DNA sequence: AGAATAGTGTCTCTGAGACATTATGCC
DNA sequence: GGCATAATGTCTCAGAGACACTATTCT
C-alpha cells in the first residue's frame, strides 16, 4: 500500500495486469431500424454459437480490443458486416449491465440505435442467410436472445420521441421520399395519426427538405420527392407534436 | 468448430473462460451536480492511485463483479460512498470507450448524471478529504483525469436540455425551495435569463409543485416555499423554452 | 366523370415572450 | 416612506390542431 503510493506511474503501468481483477464482458449491439412496405422493421440475426444458440437477437458482439480503437468503430463494424453499408444515422442508446443477462457472467452491452434505407442494403441482407428484417409488430411473438427485446423497445421509444421533435426518422427512408411516406413513418412511431397540415408546415418552415423536382406516381395525385437538407439531423423543433 | 457446434449449452458454459479473450476495463462514473450559493457545482474526487494520481476527476471506479449485481448498484455505491446518501435523481448519460482514455488499456466507462441537494450531503463531504464541490465556472482552469471533462460537459448539456422541457433540475435544490431559486438554476443551465411569468405559468399549470405554506424571508418580499409534487420527475413540457 | 391520393386555406386555441403593475417584507 | 424582491395582469404572437377545400393523376 505505502509501497504503491511511492511508485511512479510508468512503473505502475508496466506492472499493471488487466487480468488481475475479474472484469465484465463487454459487447456492442445495434437496434437497426428501417421502413419498408408501410411497416417498421428491425434487423435480427440468428445466433450461430452459444449461449442462446439458434435464437434471434440484435447484431452485435464482443469488442475486439486488438482490432477496433473505440466503441463507434466497434458498432460500425458490426453494422457494416451485416448490411454492407455504414448506417446514415447512428446514435448511442444506453448501456445495460448486470450479472444475469448473459449466462457467461457479468456483462455490459453498449447499445445503439441506427437507421438506414431498406433499399440501401436490400441485396446484401438477401445474401446473408443469418440476418433478416423483422416487422416490429411480430416481435411480441418472438423470444429474443439476452435482453435484446428490452433494447429494441428502448430504441423504439427513443425513435418515438425523435419523431415528436425532429426529422430523424427520415433516415429510415430511401434518399428520395415523399411527405406522405415520412408522415406515415412518424405516425407508426408515435402510434397515432398526425395532422398533415401541421406536419408539413413545421418541416417546410424549418427548411429541412429539398425538392428534387421529381415525383412519385402511384394511385392518385403524384407526390413530390424530397431529400433531406444538410444538417436536418441536428434540427429540433421547439414545440413537440402531441403524444 | 464443428465440434463446438454440436456442444450443448451447459457444456459450453462449463468450459467457457472469460479470460480467454482480452476484454476492456469497465468503470462507472458519476457527474453529480448540485446548486448552492447561486452557482452550479460538480463533485470532484482527488485520485489516490495511479494512473493520473493526484489529479481530480469524477467519483467512479471499476465494477466489482463480485459485489454488485448491476450497473445501477455500482453507480449508487460510488455516489453513496462519497456523499453518504442516495442521489434523488440519477440518469444514465452515455458510455465512452476507446483504447486511449486510460493508459492501462482499452477501457469503457458508463457515465451517469446525478443531482442532489447541497444540504443533504454537506456534512459528509466536509469529512471526506478527497471529495469536494467545484463551481463549474472554475473547471476550464483545471485539468481533470481521463476524459472526465468531456463527461461533465455532456452532463451539463443534458441538464440544459432538461431545463428547457422539464423540472428535473429541481433535484439539485433542497427539498423546499422557492420559484426564484428554481428559475435562477434554470437560467444558469440554459445560459440566459428567462421570463418569470412564463416560467411560473407552465410549472403551475402542470401542477409540478406543492405549496408548503412556508416562506423564505430575505431582502424584499418573502418567497413561497414549494416542494416537488410526486411524479414531477416524469413530466415533459410540450413546448420547450427558448434556447 | 369518379376514385384515389397529394397538397392548400384558414380558423381556433394554447401557451411562451414581453413588460408593466401590484404585493409584501425590511430598514 | 423607500428599497428590495416576489408575484400577478395582460397583451402579442408563433405555431399546432382541426378540417374543409382544391389539385393532379389514373381508370
Q: Is the pLDDT of residue B13 over 80?
A: no
Q: What is the mean pLDDT of residues A56-85?
A: 96
Question: Within this chain, do residues A196 and A230 fall inside the same structural domain, yes or no?
Answer: yes
Whole-number pLDDT of residue A6: 66
* A183 in any annotated domain: yes
End-to-end Cα spacing for chain B: 57
Give the side-chain half-sphere CA count within 13 A for A241.
26
Positive or negative: CA dihedral B221, B222, B227, B229: negative
For chain A, the average pLDDT equals 94
In whole angstroms, what is the distance from residue B160 CA to residue B156 CA?
6
In whole angstroms, what is the distance from residue B157 CA to residue B170 CA?
16
Range(s) of the domain holding residue A218 = 171-234
What are the distances in angstroms from CA B231 to CA A12, B227, B239?
48, 12, 19
End-to-end Cα spacing for chain A: 57
Whole-number pLDDT of residue A49: 85
Contact, B134 CB vs strand D, < 7 Å: no
In whole angstroms, what is the distance from residue B94 CA to residue A115 CA?
19
Q: What is the mean pLDDT of residues B176-191?
A: 98
Q: What grid cell was written down for B68?
A: 454488485
* A114 in any annotated domain: yes
Q: List CB contacts (< 8 A) between B239 and chain A.
A: 238-240
Q: Is the pLDDT of residue B9 over 80?
A: no
Give me the torsion for CA of A28, A159, B156, B175, rounded to 10°: -110
Which stretch of DSSP H or E encloses residue B211? strand B209-216
Question: Within this chain, do residues B119 and B101 fall inside the same structural domain, yes or no?
Answer: yes
Residue of chain B nearest A8, judged by CA positions: B50
What radius of gyration, in Å, describes the C-alpha atoms of chain A? Answer: 22
Q: What is the CATH number of the domain that holds A40?
A: 3.90.79.10
Which stretch of DSSP H or E encloses residue A205? helix A196-205
Whole-number pLDDT of residue B1: 46
Contact, A237 CB vs strand D, < 7 Å: yes
* A14 in any annotated domain: no
At residue B190, what are phi and psi to the nearest 5 degrees?
-80, -30
State which nucleotides on strand D lie below 7 Å from a protein beta carbon.
3-10, 15-20, 23-26
CA distance A81 to chain B (A): 20
* B222 in any annotated domain: yes
Confirm if A44 and A131 have CB atoms less than 8 A apart: yes
Using 50, 70 and 90 to split pLDDT, how confident is the model at B22?
confident
Question: Within this chain, do residues B58 and B39 fall inside the same structural domain, yes or no?
Answer: yes
Task: Give the nearest partner residue to B92 out of A5, A65, A95, using CB atoms.
Answer: A95
Question: Å from B223 (CA) to C25 (C1')?
Answer: 10
CA distance A47 to chain B (A): 11
Other Cβ atoms closer than 10 A to B129: 8
Considering only residues B6 and B60, tell me which one the structure prediction assigns the higher pLDDT: B60
Whole-number pLDDT of residue B93: 98
- Which of B128, B120, B45, B127 lies closest to B87, judged by CA? B120
Question: Within this chain, do residues A43 and A90 fall inside the same structural domain, yes or no?
Answer: yes
Q: For A142-182, what is each residue's pLDDT tens digit? A: 999 999 999 999 999 999 999 999 999 999 999 999 999 99
Q: Is the pLDDT of residue B239 over 90?
A: yes
In whole angstroms, what is the distance from residue B62 CA to residue B170 CA?
30
Other Cβ atoms closer than 10 A to B65: 20
In whole angstroms, what is the distance from residue A116 CA to residue A59 CA?
14
Using 50, 70 and 90 to split pLDDT, how confident is the model at B123?
confident
Give the side-chain half-sphere CA count within 13 A for B79.
28
* B239 in any annotated domain: no
Q: What grid cell was written down for B103?
A: 493508459
Question: Å from B198 (CA) to D12 (C1')?
Answer: 14
Question: Within this chain, do residues A114 and A143 fall inside the same structural domain, yes or no?
Answer: yes
Positive or negative: CA dihedral B9, B12, B13, B19: negative
Q: For A205-238, what is each residue's pLDDT tens digit? A: 999 999 999 999 999 999 999 999 999 999 999 9
Question: Within this chain, do residues B36 and B146 fall inside the same structural domain, yes or no?
Answer: yes
For chain B, the average pLDDT equals 94
Amino acid at each position: 500500500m505505502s509501497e504503491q503510493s511511492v511508485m511512479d506511474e510508468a512503473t505502475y503501468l508496466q506492472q499493471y495486469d488487466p487480468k488481475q481483477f475479474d472484469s465484465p464482458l463487454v459487447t456492442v449491439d445495434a437496434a437497426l431500424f428501417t421502413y419498408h412496405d408501410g411497416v417498421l422493421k428491425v434487423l435480427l440475426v440468428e445466433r450461430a454459437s452459444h449461449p442462446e444458440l439458434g435464437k434471434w437477437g440484435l447484431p452485435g458482439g464482443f469488442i475486439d480490443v486488438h482490432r477496433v480503437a473505440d466503441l463507434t468503430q466497434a458498432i460500425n463494424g458490426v453494422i457494416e458486416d451485416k448490411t454492407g453499408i455504414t448506417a446514415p444515422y447512428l446514435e448511442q442508446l444506453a448501456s445495460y449491465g448486470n450479472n444475469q443477462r448473459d449466462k457467461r457472467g457479468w456483462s455490459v452491452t453498449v447499445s445503439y440505435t441506427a437507421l438506414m434505407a431498406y433499399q440501401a442494403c436490400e441485396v446484401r441482407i438477401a445474401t446473408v442467410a443469418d440476418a433478416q428484417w423483422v416487422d416490429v409488430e411480430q416481435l411480441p411473438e418472438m423470444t429474443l436472445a439476452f435482453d435484446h427485446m428490452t433494447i429494441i423497445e428502448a430504441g423504439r421509444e427513443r425513435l418515438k420521441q425523435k419523431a415528436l421533435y425532429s426529422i430523424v426518422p427520415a433516415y429510415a427512408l430511401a434518399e428520395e421520399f415523399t411527405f406522405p411516406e415520412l408522415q406515415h413513418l412518424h405516425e407508426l412511431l408515435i402510434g397515432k395519426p398526425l395532422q398533415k397540415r401541421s406536419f408539413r408546415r413545421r418541416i417546410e418552415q424549418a427548411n429541412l427538405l429539398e425538392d428534387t423536382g421529381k415525383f412519385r406516381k402511384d394511385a392518385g395525385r403524384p407526390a413530390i420527392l424530397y431529400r433531406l437538407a444538410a444538417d436536418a439531423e441536428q434540427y429540433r423543433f421547439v414545440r413537440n407534436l402531441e403524444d
